[in-house]
Structure 1
């Protein structure tokens, strides 16, 4: 079946359904809707209308850009769909981000090499620390 790429924001319910499929769990629909609507850029992959992949860019649109949720469902991995999503994300960033901007992402374990192909640097390195996260559910 054909996979179609669209520049669109997915619906909260379908995105949460895909998150569950990916093993990430879901978030409250109102929080997911808010998060998706605040994307600077969003691209989806669909098969027979069903969401099977997604990537988005969030940030302030000037100094800070953050690549979020580059994801493809398990049965379609290894077929170049993640690359298609990242190519679209990078085209948006090349057109939008200016000198002085910072583009960040947090790679899933084992995915560093994928993002290295796009010029992202592993952390920690001689200039930057390892990066940190905090999850409100831990408060």
Structure 2
């Protein structure tokens, strides 16, 4: 397979034996730059022989290794690996998703993930995709969530790095979809609305903000902001996304609820409450004790947020903001 983006000069294809040296080099870079996310360290990867590297990228029924190229240079990788034992061959693991730091914010990782899903759809009998991600890697978790992966567990102390035990989040996605627009896990309701755990794309995000009366965001601001999503839900009706809500933050001490939006034609039906209930559920399950979660309440929206435990900070503190124009 080969996919080319004519606008950005980005191409995605399966790796082959001739790519072994470039693949090894980018894996060393991954272990150096994102050491918490790579189980092998840089020295271990560098010590592997060429034959071992070639076996890691050889395409077959049990694996696919994909590369993202810009002007002929390998700038990103991702792999799909499958256990061939009869009882678990319906499952595969997404591994080693990495983009060179200087090439980030250009859609490389998103293109790689779509290519992984496309390749997975070609493997007979494959029903489930799984992955593990460093618990503090907010952008990576947001990326996977946008492609329909949902958290299914946590491994405390999964990785030992510099004397510290780091947690990993386990995520899973049923392989019944070939596009991030058709994500799994809807929670249907009798009135035809469904809430799903997923982040909006840039166009949907900007549309929902503008049409629901929130301040508009530029395309660049939307792209950068969505990359930092920690948790997000979308409200769907009749195949259309009509509402959303997000949680952003540093992944540890401070968070903010943002982008609670429902299109005017769908307001007045308690849909904002459903969105907030999903976000509050995530806060209760995932955020550490002592986390500070804030939001800005416009007008009567304060009554909605109060139902979920949010209280005015005044008089002990007063909210302040700066809007760059």
Q: State the TM-score, normalized to the length of structure 2.
A: 0.40
| Partner-residue secondary structure (3-state), 2:259 | strand
Shift of 1:24: 2.8
- Aligned pair count reads 135
Question: Is the 8 Å Cα contact of residues 246 and 260 (structure 2) preserved in structure 1?
Answer: yes
Contact 2:196 2:235 in 1 (8 A): yes
Looking at structure 1, the residues matched to 215 and 291 of structure 2 have their Cα atoms a distance apart, in angstroms, of 32
How many Å separate the matches in 1 of 2:217 and 2:269? 28
| Structure 1 residue 123 displacement after superposition | 3.1
**Whole-angstrom distance in 2 between the partners of 1:113 and 1:19:** 21
Following superposition, the deviation at residue 25 of structure 1 comes to 4.6
Counterpart of 1:130 in structure 2 is: 318
Structure with greater proportional strand content: 2
Q: Look up the match of 1:86.
A: 276
Compare relative contact order (CA 8 Å, sep 6+) and give the higher one, 1 or 2.
1
Map Cα deviations across residues 10-33 of structure 1 (whole Å, 9 max, x no partner). Answer: 111111112221233532223202
Which string of whole-angstrom CA distances, capped at 9 and with x for unpartnered residues, describes residues 49-76 of structure 1? 2221000000011101110011111121
CA distance in 1, matches of 2:308, 2:214: 25
Give 1:2-81 correspondences, 5 Å limit. 2-81=192-271
When residues 23 and 113 of structure 1 are mapped into structure 2, their CA distance, relative to the original with a 3 A threshold, is closer
Alpha-carbon distance between aligned partners in 2 of 1:122 and 1:39, rounded to the nearest angstrom: 24
Describe the superposition over 1:96-136 as per-residue Cα deviations: whole angstroms up to 9, x where unpaired: 222221011111112111111111111313xx222111111
Query: 1: CA distance between counterparts of 2:202 and 2:277?
Result: 24
Is the 1:9–1:37 contact (alpha carbons within 8 Å) kept by the matching residues of 2?
no
CA distance in 1, matches of 2:214, 2:297: 14
SS at match of 2:229: coil
TM-score normalised according to structure 1 size:
0.89
CA contact (8 A) 1:58 1:67 kept: yes
Q: Secondary structure at the match of 1:75?
A: helix
